């Protein structure tokens, strides 16, 4: 696939309740400026539905990626009624609600993919990725077999894995996947040593997620979202000098784009202004080698052993 340096991520438009009008405008802006990758997931609330509607009449102008294997999430926090109904559904369908839950049962995964095709209003997705299942689930093999069958049936052009750490390394080396989506940014550099050399060796396409570390250097207080806390803590210790300058956002994004082996970086937004800023920053291209090396050196100086890749 011929991917651009920057792709549009669909999480925010689902979780933040963007209107169809907003999504249509964002997709139009992406198309206008040559952004040809859209990445979403079954669990991103109603992101797939919104993207499916926005792509009517222009599906062929984008490479469409999605992720499967995480149960589709409601757009708002689930009520007790919803949770009880979900558990009842899981029991009634015969799926084991254990550590990995029904999300990784082969039949559930097949259903998940069929629903994604319906929501995205397409008969073929350019890249379907397993959405961060454990290395144990990967080793079991049945979820990989589902994706292989989907590709063989012509419902996906390519298959990949989205995740980090040991599971990402296994996905690269197992010989089945064509792409890896992994967290890479100034606050998450473990993959540069652990996973990227393997990906380059095996010819795997690499999609960088969270390419600006959620922009957490911009706030003066610890984030409310627990999943953002690791990046916040790391950035407080790293104290990159460039983050104090006026081009902090641009430099952070360009760092990710400069990482050897990265083919595209996925960044989402509900704002056209932010999307244009993302595109403008990416258009500046890679950092100079000296700029890149300064950021890498600071990471190596400060990073701790438990600063592992964030899902």
Cβ(96)–Cβ(26) below 8 Å: no
Confidence of residue 102 (pLDDT cuts 50, 70, 90): low
Lowest-confidence segment of 60-74, 129-143, 252-266, 285-299 by average pLDDT: 60-74
Give the domain ranges of the chain: 6-74+101-302
* Gap between the Cα atoms of 278 and 270, Å rounded: 12
Domain 6-74+101-302 has CATH 3.20.20.100: yes
Backbone conformation region of residue 215, classed left if phi is above 0, alpha if psi is from -120 to 50, else beta: left
Looking at residue 220, what is its pLDDT? 65
Per-residue pLDDT tens for 186-195?
A: 999 999 999 9
Confidence of residue 98 (pLDDT cuts 50, 70, 90): very low
pTM of the model: 0.90
Per-residue pLDDT at 91 exceeds 50: no
Lowest-confidence segment of 81-90, 244-253, 295-304 by average pLDDT: 81-90
Per-residue pLDDT at 125 exceeds 70: yes
Helices (H), ranges, 45-134: 47-54, 80-92, 106-120
* Gap between the Cα atoms of 233 and 303, Å rounded: 11
Looking at residue 82, what is its pLDDT? 47
């Amino acid at each position: 696939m011929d991917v651009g340096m920057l792709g549009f991520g669909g999480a925010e438009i689902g979780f933040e309740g963007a209107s169809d009008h907003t999504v249509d405008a964002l997709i139009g802006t992406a198309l206008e400026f040559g952004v040809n990758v859209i990445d979403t997931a079954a669990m991103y609330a109603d992101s797939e539905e919104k993207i499916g509607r926005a792509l009517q009449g222009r599906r062929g102008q984008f490479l469409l990626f999605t992720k499967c294997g995480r149960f589709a999430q409601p757009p708002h926090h689930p009520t007790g009624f919803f949770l009880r109904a979900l558990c009842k559904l899981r029991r009634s369908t015969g799926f084991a609600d254990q550590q990995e839950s029904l999300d990784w049962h082969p039949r559930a995964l097949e259903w998940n993919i069929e629903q994604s095709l319906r929501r995205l209003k397409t008969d073929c997705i350019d890249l379907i990725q397993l959405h961060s299942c454990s290395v144990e689930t990967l080793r079991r093999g049945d979820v990989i077999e589902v994706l292989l069958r989907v590709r063989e049936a012509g419902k996906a052009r390519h298959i990949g894995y989205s995740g980090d750490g040991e599971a990402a390394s296994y996905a690269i080396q197992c010989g089945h996947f064509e792409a890896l989506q992994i967290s890479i940014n100034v606050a998450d550099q473990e993959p540069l040593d652990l996973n990227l050399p393997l990906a380059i060796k095996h010819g795997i396409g690499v999609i960088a997620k969270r390419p600006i570390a959620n922009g957490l250097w911009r706030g003066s207080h610890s984030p409310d979202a627990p999943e953002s806390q690791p990046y916040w803590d790391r950035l407080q210790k790293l104290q990159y000098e460039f983050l104090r300058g006026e081009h902090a956002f641009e430099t952070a994004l360009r760092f990710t784009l400069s990482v050897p082996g990265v083919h595209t970086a996925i960044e989402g937004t509900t704002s056209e202004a932010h999307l244009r800023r993302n595109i403008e920053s990416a258009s500046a291209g890679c950092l100079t080698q000296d700029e890149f090396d300064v950021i890498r050196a600071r990471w190596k100086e400060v990073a701790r052993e438990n600063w592992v890749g964030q899902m």
